[in-house]
């Protein structure tokens, strides 16, 4: 009887120790394995794809469009103004007296990637509309090192032909003669918190040419630079180089260029600059800039924009 009780005790003790050892093994092994898996998951996890923001501070730099689109459900009101040329002399207050060019525009984006806009420009009575789409967004950690934006616009000239009373014929004989188009691709990168650069390719098409022998299509390459000095102050510059000889009078026109600075305060962006272009829309300032930096044919200009989140 004692022998049977002893065997039963040893058997029970063995089972207990075995269960205890199994529990201890599981306890000792599960926690380290969990920690190792967590570390492994963290080390192998893909970097967080965070979109780079504020490559530029507004949809327009000086004259050129930037690759920026408005934020989701954002309405932007923009007023652009160009004074007369500095070489117009003191009698004209070095361009302050005009002739001036003014554009008032409205831009809106619903989803933050597609922006639509309309505008009215005083000189030549222009009505313009455009679509801009953020095709590729730059991501932090160089997962995607640059941004790509597509832009397309149409411009209608509402000007009455000033030579009609002389020639007896309206040069805008067909309504389509008043239309011009611009297609643009913008590729840019925010290299640091301070420096941003953009390269653009333009195709400008005018249905009506000014001279016999002129080409309807104008190709250009543009560059935009922004350097942030302080949190709300930045220096800006842009240049548009016309690639092809589209006109029989090339000496009459010059490449568009501008330098300036911008100040951000609240929902406003103030851009003040010097540019040799009186025109503001791409279909005019790229092919038809008539004054040059070399002879002080530059003018003071500014853009003011105010964004509203709806």
pLDDT in tens, 87-105: 999 999 999 998 999 999 9
Other Cβ atoms within 10 Å of 19 Cβ, number: 10
Write down the pLDDT at residue 24.
36
Radius of gyration of the chain from its Cα atoms, rounded to whole angstroms: 32
Residues 6+ apart with CB under 8 A from 223: 197, 198, 199, 200, 238, 239
pLDDT digits (tens, 9 = 90+) for 203-250: 999 999 988 889 999 999 999 999 999 999 999 999 999 999 999 887
Task: Please state the pTM of the whole predicted model.
Answer: 0.81
Q: Is residue 25 part of a domain?
A: no
Q: Is residue 18 part of a domain?
A: no
The domain in which residue 159 lies consists of 74-309
Q: Is residue 189 part of a domain?
A: yes
Q: Is residue 282 part of a domain?
A: yes
Q: Is residue 88 part of a domain?
A: yes
For residue 50, which phi and psi values (nearest 5 degrees)?
A: -100, 130
Write down the pLDDT at residue 94.
93
Query: What total number of domains does the chain contain?
Result: 1
Q: Is residue 154 part of a domain?
A: yes
Quick one: tokens of 217? 């299509």
Q: Is residue 140 part of a domain?
A: yes
> Mean pLDDT score of the chain, rounded to an integer?
86
Buried b (16+ CB within 10 A) or exposed e, 191-207: eeeeebbbebebbbebe
Q: Per DSSP, which regions of 92-164 are E strands?
A: 101-109, 114-121, 126-136, 147-157
Residue 204 belongs to domain with CATH number: 2.40.160.40
Quick one: pLDDT band at residue 280, thresholds 50, 70, 90?
very high
Q: Is residue 65 part of a domain?
A: no
């Amino acid at each position: 009887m004692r022998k049977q009780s002893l065997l039963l005790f040893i058997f029970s003790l063995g089972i207990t120790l075995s269960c205890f050892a199994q529990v201890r093994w599981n306890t000792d092994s599960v926690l380290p394995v969990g920690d190792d898996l967590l570390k492994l998951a963290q080390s192998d996890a893909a970097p967080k794809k965070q979109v780079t923001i504020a490559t530029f501070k507004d949809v327009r730099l000086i004259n050129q469009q930037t690759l920026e689109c408005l934020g989701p459900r954002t309405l932007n009101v923009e007023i652009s103004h160009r004074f007369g040329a500095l070489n117009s002399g003191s009698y004209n207050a070095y361009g302050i007296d005009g002739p001036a060019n003014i554009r008032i525009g409205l831009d809106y984006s619903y989803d933050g990637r597609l922006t639509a806009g309309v505008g009215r420009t005083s000189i030549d009575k222009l009505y313009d509309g455009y679509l801009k789409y953020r095709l590729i967004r730059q991501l932090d950690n160089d997962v995607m090192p640059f941004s790509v934006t597509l832009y397309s616009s149409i411009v209608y000239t509402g000007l009455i032909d000033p030579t009609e009373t002389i020639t007896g014929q309206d040069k805008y004989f067909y309504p389509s003669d008043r239309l011009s188009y611009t297609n643009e691709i913008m590729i840019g990168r925010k290299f640091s918190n301070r420096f941003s650069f953009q390269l653009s390719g333009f195709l400008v098409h005018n249905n009506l040419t000014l001279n016999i022998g002129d080409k309807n299509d104008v190709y250009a390459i543009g560059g935009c630079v922004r350097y942030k000095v302080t949190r709300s102050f930045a220096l800006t510059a842009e240049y548009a180089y016309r690639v092809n000889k589209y006109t029989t009078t090339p000496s009459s026109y010059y490449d568009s260029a501008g330098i300036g600075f911008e100040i951000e305060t609240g929902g406003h962006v103030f851009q003040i600059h010097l540019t040799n272009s009186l025109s503001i829309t791409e279909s005019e300032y790229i092919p038809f800039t008539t004054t040059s930096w070399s002879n002080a044919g530059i003018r003071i200009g500014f853009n003011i924009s105010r964004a509203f989140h709806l």
